[in-house]
């Protein structure tokens, strides 16, 4: 592991484990070496803390740029932690950002590393699992790597949307499923139907792990204004 990642993990890990006593199931499904995509539901900003800490390997995630530009001590500490656990800032909401995210993902995977992604694109506004964006299917087909479905459990109770500080008294869980292989479709035509089918299949596996209700609508459309 890189020095910054190790520092970020092992300075925060004892605190997290002591306060929330997180449990895990299926961590052995994360390959010990080689590239793979970890596809997770997204309930809370706390997902980006618990999953890197509990994973046996480094994971490179994309994170919205706002996490790196906060003011004051808290903002600087958040930015430092995000960089320490290999979160890469990306502006959202335009085609250039989507292209940049794809390029970053393919570079990470080409180097034999793990790439983490939240297919919903943003945190769930209601605790349900929302429709996935097809960018994950493009990444998987281009890189020809397995997908590892992941479910974060109860992180929305630790830090709900709008909460400035995490809350105690909730058990956090990370459940990891067996690898999914879409390499057989990699040589076929890339059409919207195929991308949607692969994405929906990935989301179905995440749903089985998380137990969430599913909403066939993008999470961004259900977010309250502001």
Q: Following DSSP, what letter does each residue of 185-204 receive, concatenated?
A: GTTS---HHHHHHHHHHHHH
Residue 216 structure tokens: 């066939």
**Torsion angles phi and psi, residue 24, rounded to 5:** -135, 155
Across the range 191-195, mean pLDDT stands at: 96
Q: Could you report the per-residue pLDDT of 108-129, keeping only the tens digit for each?
A: 999 999 999 999 988 999 999 9
Across the range 132-156, mean pLDDT stands at: 96
Across the range 45-58, mean pLDDT stands at: 89
End-to-end CA distance of the chain: 38
pLDDT of 214 > 70? The answer is yes
Q: Which residues pair with 89 in a beta bridge?
A: 63
| pLDDT value for 72 | 75
| pLDDT value for 225 | 44
Across the range 27-43, mean pLDDT stands at: 98
Question: 78 or 38: whose pLDDT is higher?
Answer: 38
Across the range 141-165, mean pLDDT stands at: 92
| pLDDT value for 189 | 87
Predicted confidence band of residue 26 (pLDDT cuts 50, 70, 90): very high
Domains of the chain, first to last? 3-211 (3.40.1130.10)
Question: 6 or 94: whose pLDDT is higher?
Answer: 6
Across the range 179-191, mean pLDDT stands at: 94
Cβ within 8 Å of residue 118, ≥6 positions away: 39, 40, 41, 42, 47
pTM of the entire predicted model: 0.86
Cβ within 8 Å of residue 61, ≥6 positions away: 48, 52, 85, 86, 87, 88, 115, 116, 117
Question: Closest by alpha carbon to 177, among 55, 30, 34?
Answer: 30
């Amino acid at each position: 592991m890189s020095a910054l990642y190790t520092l970020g993990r092992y300075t925060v890990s004892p605190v997290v484990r002591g306060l929330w006593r997180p449990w895990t199931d299926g961590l052995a499904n994360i390959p010990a070496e080689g590239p793979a995509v970890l596809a997770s539901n997204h309930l809370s900003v706390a997902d980006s803390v618990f999953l890197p800490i509990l994973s046996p390997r480094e994971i490179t995630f994309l994170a919205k740029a706002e996490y790196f530009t906060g003011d004051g001590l808290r903002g600087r500490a958040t930015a430092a932690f995000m960089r320490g656990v290999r979160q890469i800032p990306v502006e959202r909401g335009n085609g250039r950002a989507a292209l940049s995210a794809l390029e970053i993902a393919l570079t990470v995977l080409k180097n034999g590393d793990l790439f983490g992604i939240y297919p919903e694109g943003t945190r769930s506004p209601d605790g349900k699992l929302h429709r996935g964006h097809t960018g994950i299917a493009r990444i998987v087909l281009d890189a020809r790597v397995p997908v590892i479905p992941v479910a974060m459990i109860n992180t929305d109770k630790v830090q709900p949307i709008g909460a400035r500080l995490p809350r105690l008294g909730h058990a956090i869980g990370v459940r990891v499923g067996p690898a999914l292989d879409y390499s057989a479709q990699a040589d076929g035509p890339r059409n919207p139907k195929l991308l949607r089918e692969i994405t929906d299949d990935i989301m179905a596996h995440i749903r089985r792990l998380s137990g969430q209700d599913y909403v066939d609508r993008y999470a961004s459309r259900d977010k309250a204004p502001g």
